[in-house]
Structure 1
Amino acid sequence: MKNFLLGTAVLFYIGVVNPVSAQKTDAPKFISNTEGVKEYSLNNGMRVLLLADASQSNMVVNIVYNVGSKDEGYGEKGMAHLLEHMLFKSTKNLGDIKKQLSDKGGQANGTTWFDRTNYYEIFPSNDENLKWSLQMEADRMINATILQTDLDKEFSVVRNEFEIGENNPTRVMIQNVFSNGYTWHNYGNSTIGSKEDIERVKSPTLRKFYEKYYQPDNATLIIAGKFDEKNALKYITDYFSVLKKPERNLGGTYTVEPAQNGEKYFEIKRNNDQQIIAAGYHTSAFADKDFAALSALYEILTSDPSGYLYKNLVETQKVSSIWTFSPVVRDPGMVYFNFDVPKDKNLDETTSIVRTELDKVSSIKFSQDDLKRAKAKLIKGIENERNNTIDFAINLTEIVGAGNYKLGFLYRDNVENLKLEDINRVAQKYFKNNNRTIGVFRPSSNEERVFPSEFRDQQIADLVKDYKGKALEKEPAPFEASIANVKKNLTEGKLSNGMKYGLINKELKGDKIQGTFRFRIGNEKDLEGKESIGSMTASLLKAGTKTKTKEQIQDELDQMKSSVGAYVYGQNLIISIDTYKQYYPKVMAILQDMLTNATFPENELTKTITETNTWLEGQLKDPNAIANNELQRLAAPYPKTSIFYVASLQEQIDDNKKVTKAQVEDFYKNIMGATDGVGTLIGSIDAKTASSELEKTFGKFTAKSKFTEVKPTFFETKKQDKNIITPDKENAVALGTSSFKMTQDHPDYAALVMANEILGSGGFLSARLPMRLREKDGISYGVGSYLNIPVSNDVSSWNYYAYLNPTKRDAVEVAIKEEVSKAIASGFTQQELDSNKKSYANERTTSLGTDNTLINLVNTQLLYGRSLDKYDEQNAKIQNLTLSEVNAALKKYLSENNVISVFAGDFNKK
């Protein structure tokens, strides 16, 4: 199933006035310890969850408020989401929140959903960060300024975010299924809100909403990762227990969606080439045991390759793909089914076919194998999430919003205890055509209507009060996030075929093992015109082997809670694994089978081409896709014979259609291989076992085509502005690039990195470009810049992006050019440099606490001989930079005369 949430971004330290220091402080009261989640409560009603994990080098503070779009009244649509944006502005005690978040480094975000709003900060584990974050969250809980001047700028930013979603056919379809499916309940309203309500709301009205819901008795504070629990409880006492419990009674919402009286049908007509059929069914609340059975049913119906709907619709090429989305919600929810339809299919005929297949669901006799397969996949996802403490703490947001954090454990238990009769029961209960949103109203007699089971607060409290959870697993050992410690725990080796590998000895939660392998393949002659072929070959490696079917491969991986992935781009074959220590040999055996015995069934190739092209067809009129593709073609005009040639979107579709099974088999047998490659594993795995399995898997995986690196050509960019009209699109995009020569070892590299940080990349929306276009002018939801500077060649570029309302096209262009021109002509200030040095260092420390960063660093060392010490050296160079060096680097490498800009949108709108 797919998950759709909202999002934003990054973090700080400074002394803060104690919010209400005159109040009496009371230490948090311990409630329970459920599988390592320690629950506390304060006298003012606030709930606290602590999830300690010493193996982390980062920590997260996540505060969840039980308020979302469900709680909005008439004229308030989008208020919860707009308030989320405003709480990043300022408070009475702290002042500028974004500035201080930016200075701190790390990562920050705020999101709004149906039942809840949350704010979180991820940063390197230390007492200073913990203390500041708790001070800040306590302060903005009750002291946000919510100024009308800030609101006047922010509403257009939120409106621009709304318009970005309006460009996406899938998001439009999801919203319309929910809005048509719900008659009374607010789950039918878009979380991002109504454009009109967003634009017209005034700060006093928004403040009333804030003061009602942003109170300690409506909040759950979550702290997770590596932190001092004693200090955490002390700071919670100091900054949160002093907040007075409000006298008002929230009361809660009481609307219950009535049973649907018949199938509903709607059509959306917009300028786009993508065809979609969508269906929604009213289902259960997350607290209901039915939610687990329904989750398994969705897997049984849609899973590739075993799903019933998948086999009857995708296998037979009636549709190109199918997926589902079922949000975790407090009240009875809805499941969304998405069917992507190729352009050459008749939409009306396909809709009839889809409806017929959905009508069969309630009468299917499911098997024990169906149940076993679905349970394995669901449990795999649950355990993988549970074993990533930071992500788990953030994802608890949804469970808290659904009623209580323990519901997540109950859901897992319900999945583990599922019986076949549960699957058949929910299929028969919910999958009725009078409970579906897809078609027209059809009056009929003797309807068996579906009434959802409501869960009141006391029912949920009774449900979880005696729940103890499972016994705690062994906690992984602490691991210091430093280059010195990585080197200390790194073992390097080489296979018989010359492949280099690295093993990072780090205990991961649940004894996980992760690995990424990068193989350099082919040469210019052998790869000419084979981009689509290579991509299809990698996609089909799991489609079946001489010993296993596609279904068997997927079932075995799911049973082991493991994943294997592969993709090809240019001269690179990338393979990744995600497994557990006990399953590592078996997963590597499956990978070895894929690399030596793949069969590439014709029907799977056809399905992959259809699915890929259906997605590409949806991009043909998307402003962002069009602009990005055109910018690459303008900046790097390679001939079609080059492996670096950038094909147009239509050329990619046409090339995919020409791929044959014989071409895929030839690419597999002659070009793919591990002779020139590297790979890194991370986890607490025995070095001898690891190397032995690597040898078995890759030792004889050789390519007949000899690898010869093809270096990219440097094309000097010249000033050019290009407009592309995309009719009937609510949002537009501006993209730009400027080329220059540089590698990461160049003497100017550090200075240029810092110059770009100040100009458009660094901090929490505090760089010059976002400050001008988003914060000051309010004309772009997302704007920034980034560098593309490789390790192994000197073809580099500076790039910018901005998302905008089409009517703001000229204003955005002027603002970007003014800020770039001003930076080049006048340079930056010492204050900007000092601030960004600090945030950059903290961002790098945070990054070093992620496993993917460690894997990539080791792979880079193995592939290019670039020492891990370069990471610390880069940090030192950044901190020693002078203002004159940074200003000189920007002026040397960036010129307005060398920037190519592409604007795509409906610029005919007035």
Structure 2
Amino acid sequence: MKNVLLGGILCCTLISLSPVYAQKKVEVPKYITNIEGVKEYSLNNGLKILLIPDASQSNMIVNIVYNVGSRNEGYGEKGMAHLLEHMLFKSTKNLGDIKKMLSDKGGNANGTTWLDRTNYYEIFPSSDENLKWSIEMEADRMIHATILQSDLDKEFSVVRNEFEIGENNPDGVLQERILSAAYLWHNYGNSTIGSKEDIERVKANTLRVFYEKYYQPDNATLIIAGKFDEKKALQYAGQYFGAIPRPKRVLDKTYTIEPAQDGEKYVELKRAGDSKNVGALYHTASYADKDYAAIDALGEILTADPSGYLYKSLVETQKISSIYFWQPTVRDAGFIYFGAALPNDKDVKETKELIRTELDKIASTKYTDQDISRAKAKIIKQIEAVKNNTISYAVNMTEIVGAGDYRLGFLYRDAIENLTKEDVQRVAEKYFKANNRTVGIFIPSKDEVRVKPNEYTDEQLSALIKDYKGKALEKEAAPFEASIKNLKQNFAEGKLSNGIKYGLIKKEIKGGKVQASFRFPVSNEKDLTDKSDIAGILAQLLKTGTKTQSKEQIQDRLDQLKSSINFNFSRQTLTVNINTYKENFKEVMGILADLLANSTFPENELTKTISEYNTYLESSLNDPQAVAFTEITRSTTKYPKGNMFYTPTIQEQIDAFKKIKQSEIVDFYKNVLGGNNGVGSVVGDLDAKTTGEILESTFGKWNSKAKYELALPTYFETQKLDKDIITPDKENAVALGRISFKMDRNSADYPAFVMANEMLGSGGFLSARIPMRLREKEGISYGAGSFADIPITNNAASWSYYAFLNPTKKGAVETAAKEEIAKAIKDGFTAEELKSNLTSWQNERKTRLGVDGTLMELSNNYLQYGVPLEDYDTLETKIKALKVEDVNSVLKKYLSLDKMTSVYAGDFNKKN
């Protein structure tokens, strides 16, 4: 389900002026309302400001949303909104190079474009300086972007590469074709990424006209969320945005209304690929429409695993491998889309008819109170999960603002909470008619009851939200400083009776949320031979039923508790991740205990899971990215087949899954799994004594019968190799290079290597050498960079670079990447580069420390490997003391093109 949820808002007032804006009196934003902690303000120029303070965060986000997307594009402009988004990361007249500034500051920044909106956001550690800079920068690029033809000449090929990456996804391309056929006139039928030809041919002056029309304060919403000074936020907004005059132009309203569909439409797409997919689309409602929430709930009722009607009739019977739905959050009348994946041994045309037969039953099915209750619980859980993660909340609010107004998110939630069986039955009967479904030919018939979506005017929308007040304000979470010192002050550790070590990080999280992550290593390298696939599938089956509860009952209860339990098995470790709330923690851990002690692994669930996995893998057989990353690992390691560290080919993985037996799953579960060598960390406002008791009850008697020994990877020296893999008729290609060497995180060279990697390919906002050369200077790659894998427990380390490209650019990408690596090894970096990248690296680490997942990772590494929490700060101290000569020496010591294995995957027979 694609469901973008509620929004949030903050507070502000004023500070000293920068010279650029000093000539204008600072405007004080006007307070409008406070709805459930979302504080709304406005400026005279029409800018809407939403503040969502959360003192428990250590990060802040500035997110600006413009009400312009692909819906607003005209003839010859397809993809213009998205292309403009890319161009706004170039430069402005007042501040200069945006990407360099973002790179220097570290943190996390991005921009996205969709049907009704475009947004830009920056996530930084909380500080007045970061707050001020983000607001000033967004105000400057609102009206002062340079949009140079020279920048556009390079960027269009980057966007084209992004387009080509999407063209490699069969399900995604099928969606686009179905949407195109479903809509006669409305722009929702067009891909947001646009027409490749329009992207390549548009001129900078044309793009500027589009920019000056839509990038104005009266067409924007500024969202500030997290931990920040509200008075200063308002002051900066008034200072920088308030200086922008209200535009004289009047934005014309879009007025295209999609007519009622008058017959079922068919699309047949024939392209190279390895997966079979079926899609179906029905025209439905806008986000503001009262029917939207009921349609969302119906989508869950139909597709949820394991209770969904379509899931039971199509997936459980193994007619298809998987099914999903999504309904976009949009301003105008939208759609609901169902996507199904098929195993390769199924006939796609026969299966299409089976799916149509089941879809035809939607309108006549009599839905139950249990159906409604189950769907409501799941959706409300999702709403609460997003609302209580303030940074994600601010980003997700983008869609709701694009759909008309942030308050629509609250109305959607209220509608879900008040949903009745009659509401769901009504929308099922209204929208789910064959003549409102896309698949292709005109069929004359008499007495057709055609579906015509409602139009919501701006006036109707305003009336809908005008007097909305929301619910009572929730208790604000206490501040939590993002520092190792504060982490240690709020950290308690304990040990269960069977030896499991655990850590409790006492931290108030918005909404009383609690998160936990556990690692349970088992067995040994010898005894786990040929069992990796069994363990991996087992982890996916741990929620499919126990001796006391069915899969459906387990999922229903977790949804009612607004909680989730997820399992994963890799090499020799079972990982368990939990998201819940303080009041539900004990019960959720009780459910987990039942799963670990009493799972039954039904045969039909094993068959379905393997079918779903193999269908996905079959779709990857000719995918350049999957092929390249698999091959680079196979080419640089030489483990025997069956070893836990062995990397199988995609086809080997498919064949191995097909051979798994239920008895093997049960044997591994009973004789190998266990927690007595495990560790775990919990984050939340919990009592230490009670938490220990709950963990003891959950894990205290769960022990493995297998002998445990930590398995360590073997070091394999890489050799110089350039390998091409042809993936026919694929629009995108991938380049990968890898060099292996001996190093662990205790090595004296580790700090210097971290910074060498930062400057060469992983650091900043596309400002390290490899991405700067390939993307920014030459425009031959949509994404390029590097990453290092330096272990904690052994010395089998590696460094890799990557690039995504058009197949015809292989030679240029290979040359540019190797030249940058060779130049760095030969000539080294400059002191200025080190200084700049050090700042961004520090900011990125501080941002990461404000994420609960990082806190749990630090705790688990301490508990499992004895890595002191202080090492996080110690590494920074060592890196700050580095001289550029140290970094250059280490880079030359460990990296050599004579030892780099390179893999290139794509259709390199393409001529253009």
Aligned counterpart, 2:504: 503
1:59-112 Cα distance to aligned partner (Å, 9 max, x none): 000000000010000011111000000000000000100001111111001000
TM-fit CA distance, 1:16: 10
Aligned counterpart, 2:754: 753
Partner-residue secondary structure (3-state), 1:813: helix
Indicate conservation of the 8 Å contact 2:143/2:216, yes or no.
yes
**Distance in 2, Cα, partners of 1:174 & 1:783:** 27
TM-fit CA distance, 1:396: 0.6
Aligned counterpart, 2:155: 154
What letter matches 1:463 in structure 2? L
**Distance in 2, Cα, partners of 1:645 & 1:354:** 39
What letter matches 2:45 in structure 1? N
Partner-residue secondary structure (3-state), 1:524: coil
Aligned counterpart, 1:109: 110
Partner-residue secondary structure (3-state), 1:525: coil
2:604 matches 1:596? no
Structure 1 residues 344 and 178: CA distance shift in structure 2, 3 A: same
Aligned counterpart, 1:9: none
Aligned counterpart, 1:455: 456
Partner-residue secondary structure (3-state), 1:336: strand
TM-fit CA distance, 1:439: 4.0
What letter matches 1:743 in structure 2? D
1:658-713 Cα distance to aligned partner (Å, 9 max, x none): 00110000000011010111000000011111111111111111111111122211
Aligned counterpart, 2:653: 652
**Distance in 1, Cα, partners of 2:183 & 2:3:** 20
Give 1:48-197 correspondences, 5 Å limit: 48-197=49-198
Identity of aligned residues (%): 64
**Distance in 1, Cα, partners of 2:436 & 2:692:** 55
TM-fit CA distance, 1:19: 4.8
1:497-554 Cα distance to aligned partner (Å, 9 max, x none): 1010000000011111100000111112321101110011111110000000000000
Partner-residue secondary structure (3-state), 1:265: coil
Indicate conservation of the 8 Å contact 2:565/2:576, yes or no.
yes
TM-fit CA distance, 1:582: 0.6
Partner-residue secondary structure (3-state), 1:514: strand
Aligned counterpart, 1:338: 339
**Distance in 2, Cα, partners of 1:143 & 1:30:** 27
Indicate conservation of the 8 Å contact 2:683/2:856, yes or no.
yes
Aligned counterpart, 1:31: 32
**Distance in 2, Cα, partners of 1:608 & 1:492:** 37
What letter matches 2:694 in structure 1? E
TM-score by length of 1: 0.98
Aligned counterpart, 2:722: 721
What letter matches 2:523 in structure 1? G
TM-fit CA distance, 1:443: 2.2
What letter matches 1:225 in structure 2? G
**Distance in 1, Cα, partners of 2:245 & 2:4:** 35
Structure 1 residues 133 and 877: CA distance shift in structure 2, 3 A: same
Indicate conservation of the 8 Å contact 1:16/1:93, yes or no.
no
**Distance in 1, Cα, partners of 2:597 & 2:550:** 14
**Distance in 2, Cα, partners of 1:787 & 1:242:** 45
Partner-residue secondary structure (3-state), 1:438: coil
Give 1:295-694 correspondences, 5 Å limit: 295-694=296-695
Partner-residue secondary structure (3-state), 1:579: strand
TM-fit CA distance, 1:438: 2.5
2:779 matches 1:778? yes
Partner-residue secondary structure (3-state), 2:405: coil
Indicate conservation of the 8 Å contact 2:154/2:776, yes or no.
yes
Indicate conservation of the 8 Å contact 2:21/2:239, yes or no.
no
Indicate conservation of the 8 Å contact 1:178/1:334, yes or no.
no
TM-fit CA distance, 1:4: 10
What letter matches 2:829 in structure 1? F
What letter matches 1:895 in structure 2? S
Indicate conservation of the 8 Å contact 1:579/1:587, yes or no.
yes
Q: Which one is further off, 422-431 or 683-692?
A: 683-692
What letter matches 1:610 in structure 2? S
TM-fit CA distance, 1:458: 1.1
Aligned counterpart, 2:13: none
Partner-residue secondary structure (3-state), 1:823: helix
**Distance in 2, Cα, partners of 1:63 & 1:326:** 24
**Distance in 2, Cα, partners of 1:421 & 1:876:** 63
Structure 1 residues 406 and 44: CA distance shift in structure 2, 3 A: same
TM-fit CA distance, 1:220: 0.5
Partner-residue secondary structure (3-state), 2:65: strand
**Distance in 2, Cα, partners of 1:387 & 1:477:** 13
TM-fit CA distance, 1:236: 1.1
Indicate conservation of the 8 Å contact 2:4/2:399, yes or no.
no
**Distance in 2, Cα, partners of 1:418 & 1:19:** 52
Aligned counterpart, 1:283: 284
**Distance in 2, Cα, partners of 1:439 & 1:533:** 43
**Distance in 2, Cα, partners of 1:536 & 1:547:** 22
Indicate conservation of the 8 Å contact 1:17/1:93, yes or no.
no
Aligned counterpart, 2:904: 903
Partner-residue secondary structure (3-state), 1:437: coil
**Distance in 2, Cα, partners of 1:641 & 1:189:** 47
Indicate conservation of the 8 Å contact 2:2/2:328, yes or no.
no
Aligned counterpart, 1:707: 708
**Distance in 2, Cα, partners of 1:630 & 1:715:** 15
Indicate conservation of the 8 Å contact 2:4/2:329, yes or no.
no
TM-fit CA distance, 1:3: 6.3
TM-score by length of 2: 0.98
**Distance in 1, Cα, partners of 2:348 & 2:187:** 31
Q: Which one is further off, 552-561 or 524-533?
A: 524-533
Partner-residue secondary structure (3-state), 1:30: strand
Aligned counterpart, 1:204: 205
Partner-residue secondary structure (3-state), 1:39: strand
**Distance in 2, Cα, partners of 1:907 & 1:401:** 40
Indicate conservation of the 8 Å contact 2:4/2:396, yes or no.
no
What letter matches 1:473 in structure 2? E
Aligned counterpart, 1:873: 874
> In the comparison of the two structures, how many residue pairs are matched?
901
What letter matches 2:767 in structure 1? S
**Distance in 2, Cα, partners of 1:212 & 1:19:** 23
**Distance in 2, Cα, partners of 1:606 & 1:594:** 19
TM-fit CA distance, 1:135: 0.7
**Distance in 2, Cα, partners of 1:654 & 1:280:** 34
Indicate conservation of the 8 Å contact 2:829/2:884, yes or no.
yes
Aligned counterpart, 2:848: 847
**Distance in 2, Cα, partners of 1:623 & 1:144:** 36
2:733 matches 1:732? yes
Partner-residue secondary structure (3-state), 2:711: coil
Partner-residue secondary structure (3-state), 2:453: coil
**Distance in 1, Cα, partners of 2:350 & 2:555:** 32
Indicate conservation of the 8 Å contact 1:266/1:440, yes or no.
no
What letter matches 2:811 in structure 1? D
**Distance in 1, Cα, partners of 2:754 & 2:834:** 12
